[in-house]
Structure 1
Amino acid sequence: MSHLAARIVIGLSLLTCISGCQPSSNSTVPDDAVAKQTTEFDKLFAQFDDINKPGASVAVLQDGEVVFSKGYGSANLEYDIPVTPDTMFHVASVSKQFTVFAILLLAEESKLNFDDDIRQYIPEVPDFGETITLRHLASHTSGMRDQWNLLRMAGWRLDDVITTEHVLKMVAKQKELNFKPGEEFLYSNTGFTLLAEVVARVSGKSFAKFTQERLFTPLNMSNSLFYDDHQKIVSNRAYSYEPIDNGYQKSVLNYANVGATSLFTTAEDLLKWSENFTEPTVGSPSIIKQMNTLATLNNGDTFGGAYGQFISHYNGIKYIQHSGGDAGFRSYLARFPEQNLAIAILNNGADGRPWELALQIAERFLESNTPPPQNAIADAFMESMSPKQTPSAFDLSKNKLSADILNAYVGHYWNEPDAYSREIYLDKGRLMYSRGKNDVSPLAAVNENTFKMLNVEGEIFVEFTEDGEQSSMTVRVDNMDTYVSVAYMPIEVTESWLSQFAGSYYSPELSSTYHFSPDNDQLKISHYRLSDHHIAPVKGDFFRSQVGDILFERDDSGAVNGFRISNGRVRNLYFRKR
């Protein structure tokens, strides 16, 4: 429904209707109440309400009515074009739910099955010795390495023109998965690019054309399209920016691939999409149910992810959401199904945090005294914005330990399962827990060998133990997760020692070569498309670099013959020494 036809609703509704929206003729809401609520929302978005800054578009749907819709700030800083409710934004990963819906439409027509092997439709996907299903791809449980991480490691810039063909060619060269399908959840954009390609091959139409005919047109989403051509002209589109010291600079996006990203739409069109989950015009109730169902791992566990969406809880209320971020675009769409509430916020500045604003808006609509479930799992974006919990106060004077005791714990500790190091050092008589650079937390003594970590979220305790000559450090988080690290002595780095790593290393999976050379007690990394940079060993053959964590491998004689690199969504990608 257009904001021009929206009416003021009461109850949990915002009682706000602006930017052309008028109360219905039979509305009993006083004008001053409308003005008050309008002012309240303008305050929420005041940071964007400047034609000299990137902007925001926000729209709120309550009980099938758009009760608020407005644009703030600039859609184009070079021409002072303001954001309006009709401004189209690139919404990045919010695209993913449309991709899954398209797959399920074809499944409902018996043109495919959600549990089919991806190689049935895209035989170029390598045979990894494991079946990867469309369901795995749609729930980030496939084990497929992420396309963006792979491209970065291969020397691509993310403002390069990146097409679906480029992604498919890189996928075809992969030799390993991150993990066995269904064993873990690990966010992977690759899966959704493959799903969009399945839609295109099964339907015989481009993904952009299929979604236009089957989704956008029937839902009257007249300001929506999948952008599969980086040269295509789109009217009323926003451009993206990122902050710099004296203002903003352009954040260029040239994607020409779809499925994982590249939906251009408006906040109001996203509300039309949301309403289809309440009263389906496109698709059946069974599709809606499937989309909203938590995915499961091979062991039956859930992880907060559904299909193209995440299921979260706020003040005990369930909501279904997804965020998006590419270049300077930031987007968020949240649906509170039991309250008939949906909120869409779109930004074109990299400093936007629409998920925070969406929950502030939700507070004005939702009423619940129900505590959140003990096992409710929020997605990473929500957890990252949780307020820091203040740790229980410790009277350090009552648990002051001698310098001899504290010095016994000083040193470096290595966690083998997750391949990271931590340093413990003394600062003004207090032990400090260092994760590297300026990421340090003080430790307060509970007893002679147990300490509480201060200035962190949750309850974290650090315990030091010694078994013969082997010292270890155990970190316990909220009495649930335990991480054990073993003390080690950092190697003495010399140019002679570094010379064993010198040489060129090639990855056939990336068609890319890295060069290493000793340089002032560090290794210099060179790549023809990346800036040179220096790295130092963390422990033995393990180094950290700008492109990922590097673990060199040796042959039976002890000579370095290759390395494996990991960077979050790509694990153990192999480079052999030439």
Structure 2
Amino acid sequence: MRPVAGSALLPLVAVALLAGCGGAGEPTPSSSLERGIDAVFADLDRPGSPGAAVSVIRDGEIVHSRGYGYAQIEHGVPVTPRTVFHVASVSKQFTAMAVTMLAAEGALSLDDRVQTHLGFVPEFEHPVTVRQMIHHTSGIRDQWQLLGISGWRLDDVITTEHILGLMSRQRELNFVPGSEYLYSNMGYTLLAGTAAAVSGMSFPEFTAARIFRPLGMNRTHFHDDHEHIVPDRAYSYRPVSTAEEGGEEGGGGRMGAEYTKAVLSYANAGATSLFTTADDLARWLDNFRHETVGGPEVMEMMTTRGVLNSEDTIAYAHGLSIGDHRGLRTVGHGGADAGFRAQATWYPEANVGVVVLTNVSNGNPGGRARQVAEVVLDEVFPEAEPEEGEDPSPPAADSVPSPAPDPATPAAYAGSYYSPELDALYHLQATDEGLVARHIRHGDIALEPRARDEFATDRWFMREVRFERTPDGSVAAMRVGGGRVRNLLFIKLTRPLPR
């Protein structure tokens, strides 16, 4: 079946027609490329399916650009090369680019303390620098997890003001800055604020003027107004047939019956919220070759990996992860918000860029981008073979036996707990089923004992709960964490909060 919508570019078609004068039945390189890439998206190439857009750029020319499936299932709008997607954390490289350009121009230093440009950020025990926020080594807690613990849902309207207000209340870090790598979306929201403060322009205006327009990325913008109408945009979906996002899709049925809308109402930019097309992102990737925007100094800085206090080098550069595929260096980033999934990868030695954007939560753009790259690299380096044992999927987590449950009774932990850093309140109650944390928006959260004073939950924002005691053994506080937030303090109240 041919793709639902979209088209390969004319140069590719022209080459195919010219080559078609050769031997009958002999596949040309361009037709082979087209068929190979189409096969990667065959599962999305059907009525009623969310879709994907793919763009491949090689030596400055877009050699494949096509859409598959639907951008808006309920309206029957197909994905085309002009479809605009939210690309989530793929946004971060543009935020880093903005700050890196300003640093190269002398408008700021990457070793400036964050408070130099953003006075509302609290003073922590250890200073945090712009460079550490770029490399995710700042220790600043993640905004999404903090919002989740506070009671927000990620389909709420979340503005920059909400996030920065939360940041202004923080009093602790996850760790000593520079000592570890731990991904922090909050750091990138602060970097966007830094670029705006230093440039005197709004962050969307600065990136449009200095990056997008010079590169001809005319369908790209940072989307910090959730009410703004965007022509040709995709909406995002989740499969309803499985509980796991990576599970197989269900069977047929009426259009859209397999999927549900995944709502995205973000009104903040920096860590996320870039709206763009696959072709525009391909043009950006090619800037790593021609360096028109930023120049050699900035583009070299963009791919410079972070260094910890221990002098160990990490894989994360300036909003980009440095890796390898088939023995070739890769520069890229993925993204995931609501049902949107994205991957943009540049292969410097091959002058090849691959972009895959999807609007379904199990779209697997990282795996698909690698498959597309295999097809393209087979033409560039036909003798190259995949690396032995290469597997694009992450390794399975080791099985860790659960420690003995806490012998203390649930009643010992009952009470109300308040976080000054979040202005959030949880009521812990002992029930017949065990200890439960109750929140006005999240409802009941079961706390499963793991060890003395240590519990676990099934909520993504609150994986671990640990209680602290006074010298006489009374429970005085709980620390919440897991993932990108550690040791967030909730004080056990001895009297109701004044309101």
TM-score w.r.t. structure 2 length?
Answer: 0.88
Change in 2 beyond 3 A, CA 1:387/1:517: closer
Identity of aligned pairs, percent? 44
Aligned counterpart, 1:362: 373
Find 1:112's aligned residue among 98, 105, 108. 108
Matching of residue 309 in structure 1 with residue 320 in structure 2: yes
- Please name the residue that 2:488 is paired with: 573
Task: Determine the C-alpha separation between the residues in 2 that align with 1:255 and 1:99.
Answer: 17
- Provide the rounded CA distance (Å) in 1 between the counterparts of 2:15 and 2:353: 24
Match of 1:93 in 2: 89
1:257 to 244, 250, 268: 268
**Contact 2:416–2:425 (Cα < 8 Å) also in 1:** yes
> Which amino acid is the alignment partner of residue 130 of structure 1?
H
Q: Aligned in 2, Cα 1:548/1:513: closer, same or farther, shift over 3 Å?
A: same
Q: What are the Cα deviations for residues 32-68 of structure 1, in whole angstroms up to 9, with x where unaligned?
A: 4244432332221111112311100000011111110
Counterpart CA distance in 2 for 1:207 and 1:26 is 42
Structure 2 residue aligned with 1:527: 439
* Matched residue type, 1:499: A
**Partner SS state of residue 170, structure 1:** helix
Within 2, Cα distance between the matches of 1:502 and 1:313?
51
CA displacement at 1:88 relative to structure 2: 0.4
**CA–CA distance in 2 between the matches of 1:532 and 1:250?**
25
Q: CA offsets per residue over residues 132-168 of structure 1, 9 Å max, x none? A: 1111000000000000010000010001111111111
The answer as to 2:336 corresponding to 1:325 is yes
Report if the CA contact (8 A) 1:317-1:372 is conserved. no
Tell me the distance in 2 between the aligned counterparts of 1:130 and 1:166.
25
1:19 lines up with 2:8 in the alignment: yes
1:116 Cα deviation after fit: 0.8
CA–CA distance in structure 1, aligned partners of residues 233 and 326 of structure 2:
35
Select which of 459, 470, 473 maps to 1:555. Answer: 470
1:405-445 CA-to-partner distances (Å, cap 9, x unmatched) read: xxxxxxxxxxxxxxxxx9xxxxxxxxxx6656xxxxxxxxx
Structure 2 residue 164 is matched with structure 1 residue 168: yes
How many angstroms does 1:387 deviate by? 7.3
Instruction: Name the structure with the higher strand share.
Output: 1
Shift of 1:364: 2.1
Aligned to 2:427: 515
Q: Secondary structure at the match of 1:78?
A: helix
CA distance in 1, matches of 2:305, 2:386: 21
Residue 30 of structure 1 is matched in structure 2 by 20
Retained in 2: the 8 A contact 1:312–1:319? yes
* Contact 2:72 2:235 survives alignment (8 Å): yes
* 1:305 Cα offset (Å): 1.0
After superposition, the Cα gap between the structure-2 partners of 1:538 and 1:106, relative to the gap in structure 1 and judged at 3 Å, is same
Q: Which amino acid aligns with 1:550?
A: V
**Does residue 503 in structure 1 map to residue 418 in structure 2?**
no
Q: d(CA) in 2 for partners of 1:572 and 1:303?
A: 24
Q: Could you tell me how far 1:289 is from its partner in structure 2? A: 0.3
Instruction: Give the 3-state SS of the residue equivalent to 1:242 in structure 2.
Output: strand
Question: d(CA) in 1 for partners of 2:14 and 2:262?
Answer: 45
The runs of 5 or more residues in structure 1 that have no matched partner are 1-16, 374-381, 390-421, 423-432, 437-487
Contact 1:553 1:564 in 2 (8 A): yes
Q: 1:523 aligns to what SS in structure 2?
A: strand
One-letter identity of the residue aligned with 2:8: S
Task: Give the Cα–Cα distance (whole angstroms) in 1 for the partners of residues 258 and 298 of structure 2.
Answer: 45
Correspondence for 2:137 among 134, 141, 147: 141
- TM value normalised by structure 1: 0.76
Distance 1:540 1:309, change over 3 A: same
- Structure 1 contact 522–535 (Cα < 8 Å) conserved: yes
Q: How much has 1:235 moved relative to structure 2? A: 0.4
Map Cα deviations across residues 52-105 of structure 1 (whole Å, 9 max, x no partner): 111000000111111100000000011010000000000000000000111112
Residues 1:340 and 2:351 are matched in the alignment? yes
Q: 1:526 to 1:110 in 2, by over 3 A?
A: same
**Any idea what the Cα deviations from partners look like across 1:244-293, whole Å, max 9, x if unmatched?**
02510010001111110000000000011111111022112000000111
After TM superposition, the structure 1 = structure 2 runs for residues 54-453 of structure 1, keeping only pairs within 5 Å, are 54-245=50-241, 247-366=258-377, 367=381, 385-386=393-394, 435=401
- Of 25-34 and 275-284, deviating more is 25-34
Counterpart of 1:52 in structure 2 is 48
Deviation at 1:25? 5.7
Residue identity opposite 2:359 in structure 1 = N
Residues 30 and 293 (structure 1), Cα distance of their counterparts in 2 relative to 1, 3 Å cut: farther
Retained in 1: the 8 A contact 2:12–2:63? no
Alignment length, in residue pairs?
A: 459
Higher RCO (C-alpha 8 Å, min separation 6): 2
SS in 1 for 2:187: helix
Deviation at 1:342, TM superposition (A): 0.3
User: 228-237 vs 35-44, which deviates more?
Assistant: 35-44
Cα distance in 2 for partners of 1:99, 1:521 equals: 47
Aligned-residue offset at 1:490: 3.5
What is the DSSP-based 3-state SS (H/G/I as helix, E as strand, rest coil) of the residue aligned with 2:197? helix
2: CA distance, partners of 1:542 / 1:490: 9
CA drift at 1:233: 0.4
Check the 8 A contact 1:149/1:567 in 2, yes or no: no
3-state SS, counterpart of residue 264 of structure 2: coil
Contact 2:404 2:450 in 1 (8 A): no
Deviates more, 1:531-540 or 1:246-255: 531-540
